Chains A and B, each alone.
Chain A
Amino acid sequence: MVKNIIPTSLNEALELLNDRPFKIMAGGTDLMVQRRAWSQTPPEFIEDVLYIFNLEELKYIKEDKGFIVIGSTTPVEDLLHNDLTPFLLKEAIGIMASPALRHMATIAGNIGNASPAGDTLPILYVLDAIIVLESIEGIRELPINEVITGPRKHVIKQNEIIKEIKIPISVYTDSVFEKVGGRKADAISKLSFTGAVNIKDDKVLDFRIAFGAVSATILRRKEIEEKYVGLTKEELIGKVDEIVNEYDPFIRPIDDQRSNKEYRKTVALNLLKNFIITL
């Protein structure tokens, strides 16, 4: 018989996790769908469930030493209404799922689910977020791109929990998150585009691009971005075709029940192009 445990503290949760395998559940908005069973019968969990959503000590958003730090059980709806939340993250959350879902869904769950279509992920990639993993043995801090290794694959260990997400504070003169879903609300992304630049005194100080749902994990190529730092805005715009060509080979989407490869690729590159030429 599967046991459902509601720990009352993070420590208790860590002890339990160290003791035996559990499935961690935060908001459950992915898990309850994935483990659904015939109505009026229990969901199909094969392992015990550790329900952490009630851990108040992990519900926070704060500023700390140059980072915005988000506790892992904070529902995304709370982030939407907090002044500390980075603009791009708010953009992504604002068109994620539906209001009811947003009161349960967490960023940690979006990471744990590791879907290439997870909407907060490209933002975490673009903002160089650090994921803080805790276990009874201590704390590991890993950049987001080292946590997620493939569709539904990550390096979080059986005895670890995502404690918090640390986002370095940074400034952008222009930034966009464009979600391309099947409709205007409550839709899984067919693809997404995130772009952020910081241009000061007509000089590109920072240039960051990420794509969602066009490859096995979120697509971000720092080596491409770096080539364009130091240009003037005009120069950057002048190189738009070159930039599009640089990203082209990395955009390798799939055909599925929501869209097709050609569309995903064309629109991803259109959005990149449009972002640059309208700077």
Chain B
Amino acid sequence: MKDISTSILKIDNEEKANGSAIYVSDITIPGMYYAKTIRSTISKGNIKKITLPEMPENYTIVDYKDIPGKNVVKIIFEDQLIFAEDKVTYYGEPIFLIVGPDKIVITELEKQINIEYEEETPEFEYVNSAVHYNFKKGDAKSAFENADKIIEYEYITGYQEQLYIEPQGIVVDIDKNGKVTLTGSLQCPYYVKNAVLQALDAKDSEVRVIQAVVGGAFGGKEEFPSLTTTQLAVAAKKIGKPIKMIYEREEDMEVTTKRHPSKIYMEAAISKDSEILGFRSNVAIDAGANIGLSGVVLSRALIACTGVYTISNLEVKGDVFLTNTVPNGAYRGFGAPQMLFAVEMFMHHIAKEINVDPLELRLKYLAKQGDLTSTQGTFNDPIIMNEMVDKAMEISDYKQKKIDFAKEGVHKGIGMSWFLHGCGFTGSGESTHINALVKLRKDKENKVHILIAAVDMGQGIRTTMKKIVSKILDIPMDQTIYNLPDTDFVPDSGPTVASRTIMIVGGLVARAAKQLKEKWVDKEDITVSERYKQPEYIKWDEENFVGDAYPAYSWGVNIVEVEVCPVTFQVTLKHVWSVYDIGKAIDERIVMGQADGGIMQGIGYGYLEVMNCVDGKIAQKNVTDYIIPTSVDTPAMETVLMDNPYPLGPYGAKGAGELTLVGGAPAVALAIEEAIGNKVFNIPVTPEYIMELIKNGKN
């Protein structure tokens, strides 16, 4: 085989193009029932009385009283109930399921249900802090005391909806011994399995989770399916029938997790000779009605508080606020997009305030190998950002455009963001929480089975993992087998999240393949396994946020050119250029797919995608009202990958999944800022907001 980066056809191209791929909604099991969720219609209050219609034979409701184990969804922080009991905390909170064989009958029954509430005043503001973190680096106190000038701004970011094409869906089956099998659209088979085990109070062998082909996820199928699967498993236990539950689009958009809205307050201490002495930042994220993963999202945001820059003195704090709104959760980037938007805007706003060219200021503080990170860890590996920035400026003709666009009467702007993304779980999560195990099994026909729980949700893992194994073992691709994960057959290699799959799981798979190569005996059944070991030099103090927050970082530069119509304030994307260091691409075209999709999702977050919660209800709950970019909105895009192999990744690969999203919003916001000549503080930068800025904004 040639260089590992040389593109090959994705192995699922054909089944997806010709329609033979089996998604969860394609699955039917003889005698299958359907489930519909009955939800709270208020934002906060007590359930006084539930009046049900006369239930026909074979129709039943399933609620918290039916849960054999604990009424809580097992995720990192256990405060999400499977079904509400006597009170509700957000509009759309699940109270019970109606289950039965005919959807029309279920719809009729649903109309006859009456739930009486005693309403309480809901909280929609950032007042109830449920998690607070803070940490320091250097001596921010003296930095601010000695400052000649303090610059402060607040940055606000909105919701973002994953808007995977395929909504949430699960099918459960139950056998005569009571073993439940859940097949669904999900990212983390073992999160689901563990959640269901706890809810059913079952033995390990009584729950099986199988991934169906996933039609997009973006983090939206990280922790959320743990809720729907536990509900269905409880229902199957009660009724003893296979049951299917597929969300409708509006239901999906109203009640599933989204990117956390945030408010980020930044302060910089500036010396007489225009040095940045230190930063103080205060981050608030809106968790919705329960904490779930929000603490982890917050910590990733806080750790990114200096972006790609080295700032010596820091005081960082942040809170997760509970509000009576739909719970927020994982979304590609996981707290970093909010923070990187704030940091990139802030660096530009500081430069303007102290009259320095933003490019010069940023270059001066750009992190170098050996520098201390925001948490006093060390950037151990080479950083090639200077070359990347040069390359990006060269291919976009950045400097000339800056000059041209500054002229009177030109409504164009060009914005450049620099960013990094920590690969893998934050801190020591990989070793303490996940402890990934992978296996390779060679059967008697010399076929090699890749046994991992990693889910291909379009990002190409089924292709890239096979590529790694076949290259190391020097066998053809079709001699490797990677079936959709099934917890009865694959070990827990961890969730498919956090840009960890190629670097961590792929790294373990590569090591296992090398082991297998050594032990290879023709026509013999051999199984090898590898377990994650934290590199010795990585140290992390979770309590105090001190040490190496991530084993490695991927880096990127995005440049976006826009034109803003002076009559309608609408933004037209003209061109996008990107340069990434992801170590080494395992397949160039697959990475380009991530790059094109990721940047449009990031730019969409920055200028287009409006989602508001009005009186506790999501106002944009269908694809007509929630606007994401179409192909007509998408400009020409140019992407350059620069090799910078990471010694512990397979062939030097690092994470690529989230990196391509996180720089989009600041790049487009900066381009718009330049086009209109007013500072931008909020995303999305909609025409409505641009109009307001032009009327009353700051230069």
Task: Report A's interface with B, CB cutoff 8 A.
Answer: 37-42, 98, 178, 180, 182-188, 257-260, 262-263, 266-267, 270-271, 274
Tell whether B630 is near chain A: CB-to-CB under 8 Å: yes
Asked if residues B568 and A184 are in contact (CB atoms below 8 Å), the reply is no
CB <8 Å contact, A39 and B568:
no
A contacts with B: majority SS: loop
Q: A263-B688, A267-B569, A274-B567 are in contact. Are A185 and B630 (CB under 8 A)?
A: yes
Docked-complex contact A41 and B568, CB < 8 angstroms: no
Known: A38-B103, A182-B627, A184-B633. 13 other contacts (CB 8 A): A182-B608, A183-B627, A183-B632, A183-B633, A184-B630, A185-B631, A185-B633, A187-B627, A257-B619, A262-B691, A267-B691, A270-B568, A274-B567
Which single member of A41, A259, A270, A271 contacts B104 (CB below 8 Å)? A41
Rounded to whole Å, the gap between the CB of A49 and the closest CB of chain B is 18
Within 8 A of A (CB), among B588-635: 608, 610, 612, 619-620, 624-625, 627-633
Q: Does B687 contact A (CB under 8 A)?
A: yes
Interface residue? B146 (CB, 8 A): no
Q: Does B107 contact A (CB under 8 A)?
A: yes
Number of interface residues of B (CB under 8 A): 30
A186 CA / B629 CA spacing, docked (Å): 10
- The CA of A41 and the CA of B620, in the complex, are separated in Å by 24
On chain B, the residues within 8 Å of A38 by CB distance are: 36, 103, 106-107, 248
Complex: chain B residue closest to A271, CB-CB: B567
Q: A185 and B568: CB pair below 8 A?
A: no
B13 CB, nearest partner CB in chain A, Å? 23
What are the interface flags for B489-502 relative to A under an 8 Å C-beta threshold, 1 for contact and 0 otherwise?
00000000000000
B50 to A: closest C-beta gap in Å:
22
What chain B residues lie within 8 Å of A186 (beta carbons)? Answer: 630
CB-based contact A257/B633 at 8 Å:
no
Contacts of A257 in B (CB 8 A): 612, 619-620, 625
Q: Is the interface of B mostly helix, strand, loop or mixed?
A: loop
Which residues of B approach A to under 8 Å, CB–CB? 25, 36, 103-104, 106-107, 246, 248, 567-570, 572, 608, 610, 612, 619-620, 624-625, 627-633, 687-688, 691
The answer to whether A267 touches B568, judged by C-beta atoms less than 8 angstroms apart, is yes
**Chain A residues, Cβ within 8 Å of B104:** 41-42
Residues of A with C-beta under 8 A to B624: 188
Give the distance in Å from the alpha carbon of A123 to the alpha carbon of B248 in the complex: 36
6 closest A-B pairs by CB: A182-B627, A185-B632, A257-B619, A184-B632, A263-B688, A270-B567
Please give, as numbers and ranges, the residues of chain A lying within 8 Å of B688 by CB-CB distance.
Answer: 259-260, 262-263
Closest to A42 in B: B104
Shortest CB–CB separation between residue A183 and chain B, in angstroms? Answer: 5
Residues in A whose Cβ lies below 8 Å from that of B619: 257
- Minimum CB–CB distance for A253 against chain B, Å: 12
- Chain B neighbourhood of A178, CB < 8 A: 568
Tell me which residues across on chain B come within 8 A of A185, comparing CB atoms. Answer: 630-633
Q: Are B632 and A258 touching (Cβ within 8 A)?
A: no
Chain A residues with Cβ below 8 Å from B246 are 39
Q: Which of B106, B568, B620 contacts A271 (CB 8 A)?
A: B568
Complex: A75 Cα to B34 Cα, angstroms? 38
A4–B104 Cα distance when bound, in Å, is 18
Q: Could you tell me the distance between the alpha carbons of A38 and B630 in the complex, rounded to whole angstroms? A: 26
Q: How far is the CA of A54 from the CA of B572 in the complex (A)?
A: 39
Residue of A nearest to B612 (CB): A257
- B410 to chain A minimum Cβ distance, whole angstroms, is 17
Residue of B nearest to A270 (CB): B567
Residue of B nearest to A273 (CB): B567
Query: Which residues in B have their C-beta under 8 angstroms from that of A183?
Result: 608, 627-630, 632-633
